[in-house]
Structure 1
Amino acid sequence: MIDLVRNKHGGLIICDEVQTGFGRVGTKFWGHKWQGIKPDIITMAKGIGNGFPIGAVVTRKEISDKVKQVFFNTFGGGHIQCRVGLEVLNTIRKERLDENAEVVGNYLLTELGKLSKKHRIIGDVRGKGLMIAIELVKDKETKEPGKEETNQLMELTRERGLLFGKGGVYGNVLRIQPPLCLSMEDAKYVVQAVDDAVLNIK
C-alpha cells in the first residue's frame, strides 16, 4: 500500500530499522520485510554494533548521487566501528541468530499469550521475533491502561533477574528485547518469572 502511494504521488519511503534490524524480528532480518515494503532509505544502529556505537544510512545510488553537499561526521567511516559491524554480521550469520530469534521469539509469544488468558491484567501480547510487548490493563473489557501494574511488574521481574523496558502511550507496555542468543531454557525462565511476578502484583 505504501509503495503504491509513493509510486503514484512521489516521495521517499524511509524505514527506521534501529531497533528492528539485524535479525531482531527473525529470519527476514529487517522489520520492513515483514510488511512487504521496499524502502528508498534505511536507517540502522544498535543491532549493527551489538552495543558498540555505530550507525548507518543505506540508500540507492540514484538517491545518494543527488546529495551535493559534502557530508561530514566526526566518527563517520571509523575503521574500528566498521570492523565491529562486520564481525557482528558474521556472527549473526554463523550462529544463525536471526533463526534463533524467530524460533525462541515464537515460543515466547505463544507461552506469554497463554498467560494473557490466565491473568486478567495481561490485556495483550504481541510482537515479532525477539521484540515482544506485554500490555497491562486494569480491565480487559474497558482496556483501561494498567500503569501502576506495569511499574509493579517491572520491579517484580527485576527482582527475578529480568530487565524489561517500558513503553506505550500510557506507560503500560512491557518491552521485552533480549539478546538474539537467548536460549529456549532462558525463554522458559522468562515465562515462569512473568507468571510468578503477575501473581504477586497487589
Structure 2
Amino acid sequence: MSPTEKWLEKDRQYVSDALKIRFYPLAVKSGKGVVLRDFENNEYIDISAGWAVANIGYGHEKMASALQEQYKTLSFSSNITIPDNQMIQLSEKLAGMLPGEFKKKVWYGLTGSDANDCIAKLIPISAKRPRMISFMGSYHGQTMGSLSLSGHTAQARFVSGANVVKVPYPNPYRPPFGRMENLTQQVIDYIENEMFTTICPPESTAGIIIEAIQSDGGVIVPPDDFLPELRKLCDRHGIYLIVDEVKVGMGRTGKWFAFEHSGIEVDAVSLGKPLGGGVPISAVIARKEILDCGNALHLFTSSGNPISTKAALTNLSIIEEERLIGNVIEQGEYFKKQLFDLQTKHEIIGDVRGKGLALGVELVEDRVTKKPASEKTAAVCYRAFELGLLVFYVGVHSNVIEVTPPLIINRKEIDIAVAILDQAMADVERGNVNMDKVRQYAGW
C-alpha cells in the first residue's frame, strides 16, 4: 500500500462521510503555484483552486511571511469584544471596494455559509419584512439559514426556511419556461405577476439574494440585462438586493465582484472562499442600516480574528500588486477559446460558458435533447485525475465541469490542462475508462 493509499485508508476510517465530496482517490502532501503533490510526489495541475479558494495559488511566499509575522505579533483576539487593527483596516478596505455612495459596514465570519446566514437573519430584521426570495439552483451554504436560501439539490433533503420563496434562474442554455426569447423579462414577469400576487407579497418581502454567476448550480451566466432589471424590480418595491459572491468574487471574473459587469449597485454582498487566499474568513459588506440593525445578533468568537484578516489584507494586496485581475481577463479569454475549440472536437460538450476564470463546460448525451451526461462527467474528471489534472464537476444535474483555477495560471499551464481534458473526453467517449472505479466516488 502506497503512502497516499495509507492516508486514504485512515480517511475512510476516521473522517465523517458527511464532510466529503470526493471525485477520485487523492490525498495531498504539498502545493506550490497551481500544482499539488501527493505523498509519492506525483504532480497535478489544479484548475479547481480547491473550490475557488486558492486564488493566489499555493504556498505564496508573501502570504507565508505575513502570517508568520502576524502570529508572532498577535496570534488571536476575539474581535467581537476587543478589536485589533487588522480587522479595522480590512473593513475600511472592503467598504471602499463596494460600489455605491451610501454608508457601508462590514461583518465577519469564517465561511460563506455563515456569511449567508448573516443575510438570512439580518435582512428581514432590517427591512421589517419577513420574506426572502432566492433562486432555484442557487448554493448559498450548508448551515440552516444559508441552506434555507439555497435551491440546490445538495440541500434538498433538508426542510427549513418557510419564509423563503424560490424562483427560476434565467439559464440561457436551459431556459426555465422553455423559450430563450426575452428570458430576462420572463423571469422578472414571473416574480412580479405570479410570486408577488400570490404567495410572496412585495410589501412582505425583505430581500432577493442571487449569485451573479450561479456557480455550484452549473456556472450559469444570466443574460446581461438580468441583474439591471432585477435591481429595478427591487427598487420599485423597496426590496434589498443581495449578491452572493462567495465563489466568483475577489477578481475571478475580471472585476472585484462579478455583479460589477452589470453596472449596478447592490445593498449587500457576501464573500467567502477566496477572500483569505486559503485562510478561512468570510464577510458581508452592506448598507450600514442592515448590519447595524441590532447588537450581538450574529457573531462568532473567532469572527474577524487577526490571522484571518491579515490573510485577507495580504491576499488583496497580492492581487493588486501582481495585477492578477488583468491576468484573469487575458488568460480567461484564452482558456475559454480553447474550451470552445474542444467543443468542436467532442459531441459530448453541449455548452461552454463563463466569465474570466469562472468557466463551465456542460456535458450532454445529445446536443439536441440536452440530456445531462452525469456519469460521463464524473468519468472525465476521474480520467483527468489519472492524467495529472484536478478538476471538479457541479450543477443540479452533476454534468458541468467547473474551471476555477488560481488567478496566477499562465498560458502554458492552460495548454496542459486543455490537452488533458481533451484526452480524458476522448477516453470516455471511446469507453476506455474503468467505470467501476469512477462509481466508487459519489461526488455530488
Shared fold per TM-score greater than 0.5? yes
- Residue of structure 2 in register with 1:70 after alignment: 296
- Residue of structure 2 in register with 1:181 after alignment: 408
1:37 to 264, 267, 288: 264
CA RMSD for the aligned pairs?
1.2
1:24-57: CA deviation from partner (whole Å, max 9, x where unpaired): 111x221111233311011101111111101111
Give the aligned length: 200
- Residue of structure 1 in register with 2:16 after alignment: none
1:48-98: CA deviation from partner (whole Å, max 9, x where unpaired): 111110111111224333x12324321112111111110000000001111
Look up the equivalent residue of 1:107 and give its one-letter code.
Y
- Residue of structure 1 in register with 2:243 after alignment: 15
2:427 & 2:324 partners in 1: Cα distance?
34
1:5 & 1:141 partners in 2: Cα distance?
34
SS at match of 2:396: coil
- 1:5 and 2:233 aligned: yes
SS at match of 2:352: strand
Map 1:102-181 to 2 at 5 A: 102-181=329-408
Look up the equivalent residue of 1:68 and give its one-letter code.
G
- 1:96 and 2:323 aligned: yes
Contact 1:2 1:37 in 2 (8 A): no
Shift of 1:115: 1.0
1:94 & 1:109 partners in 2: Cα distance?
25
SS at match of 1:3: helix
- 1:53 and 2:280 aligned: yes
Look up the equivalent residue of 1:112 and give its one-letter code.
L
SS at match of 1:139: coil
- 1:24 and 2:279 aligned: no
Name the structure, 1 or 2, with higher relative contact order (CA <8 Å, separation 6+). 2
Look up the equivalent residue of 1:13 and give its one-letter code.
L
Look up the equivalent residue of 1:164 and give its one-letter code.
V
SS at match of 2:419: helix
Contact 2:281 2:304 in 1 (8 A): no
Contact 2:351 2:363 in 1 (8 A): yes
The alignment's TM-score, normalised by the length of structure 1, stands at 0.95
2:336 & 2:281 partners in 1: Cα distance?
30
1:29 & 1:99 partners in 2: Cα distance?
11
Contact 2:328 2:407 in 1 (8 A): yes
Look up the equivalent residue of 1:29 and give its one-letter code.
W
1:153-181: CA deviation from partner (whole Å, max 9, x where unpaired): 01111112211111112111111111111
SS at match of 2:354: strand
Structure 1 gap ranges (5+)? none
Look up the equivalent residue of 2:367 and give its one-letter code.
K
1:160 & 1:98 partners in 2: Cα distance?
29
Shift of 1:99: 1.2
